[in-house]
């Protein structure tokens, strides 16, 4: 029983501590692989569409080609997005330039007489450098969340090449519009050593990894849980939200998931549908 003061009120020295209520936030909207719900992911066309809708940020995955170029591709193979069995890591950029990375998204468009004519320059492989140039030249601040994919045959070379490129843009200092994400704790440690001022996002997709991660992530690191994990494990969602780290959630595509993120005070939602999310937020 809670102790009582002489006035009959609960004694503050014995009162049980109450949890700080989570606030309803207005998160940053980050386009997942561009506006990829309607456009082929990781193409220049998808990113330009996201910018046109007013997205606050862009998210991309990067892999290293055989000749050392960072390209925006999610899968290690090209089967799904370029209809070939090649591996990104064994092909040169010139070889990737010959491939169509967009037709898979709308395979019947050539049979639609009313479909707009496609611009081939927006459908090919996109280098990270080109994407960063677009962001740097844009007429408002746009942030970029870059995920390095692991495991890879190149190991830590991916992070070294990434940091070198960020230095070319002057984006390794505090306030730069970039952050690096990974499911690999080791990969983020590499970036921290090479560019200690670049924000880092520890991606999380398995609830059983959280007890370990919460003890090892840096004090200023961000957390990037998947929306499915938060939805299925509400107690874990609350613990992550109250961890003291800013939280960025992927991949948030429905109103219900957006409202869950807002109730948890999430700072950024990574979405295939940036226009829809912005509309739901009244922006």
DSSP assignment of 65-118: -TTS-EE--SSSBSHHHHSS--BGGGS-HHHHHTS-SSTTTSTTGGG-TTSPPP
The token pair at 222 is 């961000």
**Of 32, 42, 245, 248, catalytic:** 32
- Cβ proximity of 237 and 264 under 8 Å: yes
CB–CB of 272/252 below 8 Å?
no
Per the annotation, the verdict on 32 as an active-site residue is yes
CA distance 19 to 242: 9
- Closest by CA position to 225, among listed 186, 268, 259, 177: 268
Active site residue 74: yes
**Are 152 and 64 contacting, i.e. CB atoms less than 8 angstroms apart?**
yes
Q: Which one is catalytic: 42, 69, 74, 248?
A: 74
Catalytic residues: 32, 74
């Amino acid at each position: 029983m809670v102790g009582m003061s002489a006035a009959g009120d609960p004694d503050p020295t014995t009162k049980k501590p109450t949890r700080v209520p989570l606030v309803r936030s207005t998160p940053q909207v980050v386009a997942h692989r561009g506006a990829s719900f309607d456009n082929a992911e990781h193409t220049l066309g998808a990113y330009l569409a996201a910018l046109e809708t007013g997205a606050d940020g862009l998210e991309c995955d990067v892999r290293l080609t055989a000749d050392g170029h960072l390209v925006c591709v999610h899968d290690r193979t090209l089967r799904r997005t370029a209809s070939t069995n090649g591996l990104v890591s064994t092909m040169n950029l010139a070889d990737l330039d010959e491939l169509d990375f967009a037709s898979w998204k709308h395979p019947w468009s050539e049979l639609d007489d009313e479909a707009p004519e496609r611009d081939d320059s927006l459908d090919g492989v996109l280098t990270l450098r080109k994407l960063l140039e677009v962001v740097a030249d844009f007429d408002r601040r746009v942030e970029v969340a870059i995920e390095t994919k692991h495991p890879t045959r190149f190991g830590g070379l991916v992070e070294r090449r990434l940091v070198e490129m960020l230095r070319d843009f002057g984006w390794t200092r505090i306030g730069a519009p970039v952050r690096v994400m990974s499911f690999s704790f080791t990969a983020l440690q590499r970036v921290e050593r090479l560019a200690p001022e670049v924000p880092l996002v520890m991606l999380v997709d398995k609830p059983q990894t959280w007890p370990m991660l919460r003890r090892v992530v840096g004090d200023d690191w961000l957390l990037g849980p998947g929306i499915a994990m938060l939805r299925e494990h509400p107690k874990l969602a609350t613990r992550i939200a109250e961890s003291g780290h800013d939280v960025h959630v992927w991949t948030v595509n429905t109103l219900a998931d957006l409202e869950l993120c807002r109730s948890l005070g999430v700072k950024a939602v990574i979405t295939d549908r940036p226009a829809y999310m912005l509309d739901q937020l009244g922006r």
